Amino acid sequence: MESDTLANVEPVRVEVDVAHVQTLNHTEQFDAAEYVVVRRDVSLPVQLLSNAAARVEKAVLTHTSGNEVQVDAVCRGTSTVVELALPVTTPIGVYQLTLSGKAGERTFQAQLKQKIFVLFNAWSKNDGAFIDGDEERQEYVLKSDCRLYVGNLSGMPWNLALYRPDTLRAVALLLSASSLQFQQLADPIHVSRELSRLVNEKVVLGRWGSTYTGGRPPTFWRGSGQILQQYYNSHGAPVKYGQCWVFSGVFLSVLRVLGFPSRSITNFNSAHDTNRNRTVDQYYNDKGEEVEYLSTGKDTVWNFHCWNEVHVQRPDLHPCFEGWQVVDATPQEESPQGGGYCTGPTSLKAVKEGRSMSYDTDFVIAEVNADIKKYILEDGAPRLFQVDTSTVGKDISTKAVGSDQRVDVTDSYKYPDGSVLERDVLYSNYKELVEANYELSFYVPLVSHTPGSDITLEVHITNSGGKRPVEVVGHVTCSAVIYTGKILRGVDKKVVRQRVGVGATEVVKMGAGERILAEFPGERAYLMFDILLAHNGSVQVFEHKVYVGPTVPKMEVTLSPSSHLALGEEAKVTVQFTNPLPFKMDAVSLNVENDNLLHEDLVHEIGDIGKNATIYYNFNIIGLKIGTFQLVVGLSSDHVQLVTGEAEVVVTGVRESTDGPASLMHLIMTGGKELESLSIMDSITGVDLNTTANRRTHQTDRYESSGGLIVRRGQPITFFLLLGKSLPPGTKFISCATFNLGMRSLSKKHHSFQVDANSMVEGNKIRIELNTPSDAPIGRYYVVLTLDKGGHVMVVEKNIDLILLFNPWCNADTCHYGGCAEDLGEYILSTVGHIWTGTAESSYGRPWQHSQFMKDTLEVSLSLLDQMRESSFDPVMVSQYFATRVTSQDGHGILMNTGSGDYSRGKSPSSWVGSAQVLSEYRKSKSPVKCGQCWVASGLLTTLLRSIGIPTRSVTIYGSACSSLGQDVVQYFTEDGIEVPSPTSIWPYHVLNEVYLARNDLPKGFGGWQVLDSSPQQEREQGTKGVSLGPAPQLAVKRGLGMRHNAEKFSDLVNGLVRSYLIHGDKSLTLAHVDASLVGRKVCTKAVGVAIRGGVAPHDITVDYKDGTSRASLSSTTELTLALDVANDVVIGNSFPVKVMLTNMAARSVQCQVLVTGQGSSHPGDCGHILRCSLNQSLVLEASQVKELGLLVESSDYLWNIGGDGFLKFAAMAVINEGGATKGCLVTSRSVRVKTPDISIDIPTGALHLYKPAVLKVKFANTLGKRLTNGSFHLFGGGHVLDTEMSVGPVSPWSPTEAILETVPLKKGQFQVVVWFTSDQLVDLIGHMQLEVLD
């Protein structure tokens, strides 16, 4: 009997719903029948078909190389669907899926009919090819067309043909030719580098400046589709021919097919540095001819060069170097790091910072930023006569996200030409050649011409500085070249011998016919004029190259009857072209690639077009897909290349049809009997949410009402259904609750989950007990309750509205805080804040009312959570998103940060004393509130995150470095001791946040406090959305580890070096001092449970940020030491001393000059105007002598000039002179806070009682030395007392003023009130006091 059963078991088949699977993987547009295209780190559902119960015991993916990957297989309950978990470490490529297990009592082994093509996953944060942002993924991974900037800034459309079946097959064929080890195929770094070689070795054959017999000239191609199809159909034979833009376009297709976020880049005036010394070295003989001097080859500058970028992580480098990487498939030079003709991946950050690292960084640095050094050979030896620092690397371009606009990304590759940082990157001197006052000046006007006309070059020579006529000698040569600078042939040469009179201008001319450019079949040639002129009898030499390209005729493309098509509708296309050249065009052909409008590519050989002749050509297109598309027609010939005509085509909807309905409706049928309600359930009259008890147990009883019961996830909830009549006690129901994320009024809910509920009758109520998952998304929910009694179901869906928050009291919640209850009282429940500002020597605690339980606060937080939708389950993502939305420079944030100075568009940051003020104004205006600074943003973020249950605190870094990532802070001082602006600076303080989170996404040990910054000092990387850093583990910051969420950037804030340079009169630099003590001087936060009152010190947590290892400071001299002493606190209006201490450490006397200067400084550390007082003294210090110098700063020296945030910055410099030359220099600086008078608060009546009128007595002394007008006191109680304000009359200089403020206590308990004073002359006077209100 058993054998009969076994005999009846059919073979197991494995199938997959391709459309469903590819939709899950964002690969639904691929339609190769033999492949199921998936992305790694996504579950793959497959179905087992068998007439017996089948169980999978093993799932294996076999790669085309023969290697195997075993994957986990999980059955969905009793379903025949098996989920295969593809690891994020899966090597990319083509696999065969084999499942084995048991069907009934028999073992089986079954294979999926289709092959599985595994790609990188730009949607997975665990994948090395991840890129953030849906728009970015749509553009850089999924988009099947782009624009290549070929010789101009207009851009040429290029069809990437990503979704053609032969494209996918061609990429699979290309991968099979890889020399990578199997596991290396899992690494986007190795794969992108290998592909840059394979494209030029296997797919496209490059050729420059020669005949193109046996293939197509590079200018023929308008897309990758024909090339990849030919490559596949020829079984891997390279396609002839390509140049850089063709390599870039084809490489981009391959990269995007495999899942790489990628784009094409064009660099204009691109250097080709053969010996990788970051310079283009050009040598000229005495005939004006450029010659090859070094055996390494001839350096050149290409008119333009196209390459690609991929967005990948770089675990092999410091994390700051991940992101966009240069990869180049054009075979220029063999890589010194192996691999043949390949380039990259090269970090853009490394290129910009001039770092030599993997891979091929020096070559790319030269491409965008090389100096052109020009030598003349005199007796066989080179003499440098000119250095061009600004020609190379112009208008670096790519296509914009979501449009066909050009985006200039030059700033991502290099600092501005001529800037100090740009020169530093090249490790060259600021002036390699001393510019002399030459007698002659040269000017070359731009050359323009019309099609078919002759081309004329002019060189204007002016004798503007001479006292006598001079003779100019030299040569002007004209050559036909290609865009790489390679000479096709010489055209003409002119010997120049020109006399130029005093004050006169002479013009040297040379002409050439454009017809010359048509002599090179298939080649886009240029005329290059090379000018080399010298002042006879002087060392002055002038060299300049001018390139003149061919004019490109226009071609018209029109559609009839319309450019708007319905899906499946055809249109007629007419191409019109007139030959404007004074000669016949030979071998003309048209080429059209478009996967959305053509079933197959169109190539039409037209033949010859006579002089001034016009041709017309017609063809049909059809709307194959819905969307807006560019129809691009390319024309090429032996004489003219890259002629393009374009027309926009819009395809919408479907054609009307009488054969059936215009739309389809899917009917969803449910099995089982119709549900009926129990008659006793019809008596449910309402819902009691048990609000008081739930809010008390969930620690949410202090929240103001916000339209729902406020509870925390992972904790039981109890509520009641009210009945109109009693039921038998103890009656139980099978029940469940469906939580729908979003407001009930929304027609579409974003996310839902179900939980089982315990339901039991208690008198005239049904008691409902349930628990939410500890990882549920937080936000607003409406709950639908289902009760089942004996198959009869009742659905209750009204009046059960909840607000779900994070739960730091729950062990399973990822924001669980394991500390004591007092800590959670501080970091979640405390409304009293203390944000530290000032300086390390004079810390000042600003009071801050968080008001996290106010309705406005929770409403703002909930609106932010609504935007996150189901992503709100993760406190890491939530805290990061909130940080990006707190500050804004683009009109989408809550607060508009302003560094310092002009607050006329809003309120001064110092006028904010609590979050409620900001959030209330934001909700009213629905636009960013003006103005804020880092400490306001930090207080606001603490409020918002505490309101949703994330433990949060504000943290202050004193001496916070502001510089490009990985770079030291650089300060520049003139010889007068004045500090000049620099791209880097030290902020006296910077306030950020910490959140307490488990980090399950990171290795064990990195949970706990995480650093988060909503107003970072550093400039954002191009393309980064929002403005924030973190959350990064505090431990990773301390250890300087590169981890997700910018840990290394936070480490730079507290661990950087300060390099001080002396700028000499000739603009050369001397490194004066390297100081390791100025950055990260102290890190502090408010102490737990400490009331805000005068004299409370901050809680120092520096040890949590710095490892305690001191780094030695370096000086340019060891003969002297220099110390600067300034008062820690200066009350505005008072005078104070500045002292300098010099010690001669040498055994001989030392002559030096000492300078002390002061400048107004803003909170961000910028240098302002110079103070009126200064010290400049020359002296001789004897051996071992100690000398103290002093300077008294009067109020009149700084009151007119103090920085917008009340800081002065003093710098002391000692320059050692010996024999008239500078031998060494010491520099040190110090910031001083100029504080305003404190306001004292007193309660004359003693205790305060709820709702009973009360008075506060406030008082301060005017130290400004001038009368204060339009003064007023403001009382802010954060909702605990009635806010009030009172104007006061003019306040006399040096006299006290006081006022009585009337208020009413509105809540009982302990809390803080803040009083501040404003006037026309003086702001930012603050006082605060801890109060207690009794019944």
Active-site amino acid positions = 244, 305, 328
Contact 361, 353 (CB under 8 A): no
Give the neighbor-by-neighbor strand order of the sheet with 394-399. Answer: 343-347, 323-328, 300-312, 262-272, 394-399, 406-408
Distance CA 235, CA 29 (A): 25
Q: How would DSSP label each residue in 818-840?
A: -S-HHHHIIIII--EEEEEEE-S
By three-state DSSP, how is residue 372 classified? strand
By three-state DSSP, how is residue 169 classified? helix
DSSP run (H or E) holding 629: strand 627-636
**Cis peptide preceding 989, ω within 30 of 0:** no
Contact 515, 582 (CB under 8 A): yes
- According to DSSP, the β-strands at 709-712 and 684-688 are unpaired
Distance CA 1228, CA 54 (A): 78
Distance CA 445, CA 683 (A): 93
Q: Which residue, chain included where needed, has tokens 């060259």? A: 428
Distance CA 850, CA 938 (A): 11
* Structure token pair of residue 754: 């179900």
Distance CA 211, CA 189 (A): 36
**CA-wise closest residue to 349 among 414, 396, 394:** 414
Cβ neighbour number for residue 560 with a 10 Å cutoff = 10
The 8 Å CB, 24+ separation contacts for 1219-1222 are: 1222/1062, 1222/1064, 1222/1070
Distance CA 415, CA 984 (A): 13
What residues contact residue 476 under an 8 Å CB cut-off, 6+ apart? Answer: 288, 457, 459, 493, 494, 496, 508, 510, 529, 530, 531, 532
Return the HEC string of 394-448. Answer: EEEEEECCCCCCEEECHHHHCCCCCCHHHHHHCCCCCCCCCCCCCCEEEECCCCC
Contact 1163, 900 (CB under 8 A): yes
Q: How would DSSP label each residue in 958-999?
A: EEEEESSTTPPEEEEEETTS-EE--S-EEEEEEEEEEEEE--
**CA-wise closest residue to 1052 among 989, 1112, 955, 966:** 966
230: DSSP letter: H
* Structure token pair of residue 293: 């001097």
Distance CA 1043, CA 540 (A): 54
Distance CA 1216, CA 1178 (A): 10
Contact 946, 828 (CB under 8 A): yes
Contact 1131, 877 (CB under 8 A): no
Distance CA 803, CA 692 (A): 15
Instruction: Give residue 1074's identity as a one-letter amino acid code.
Output: V
C-alpha torsion 717→721→726→732, nearest 10? -50
Chain centroid to CA 240: how far? 39
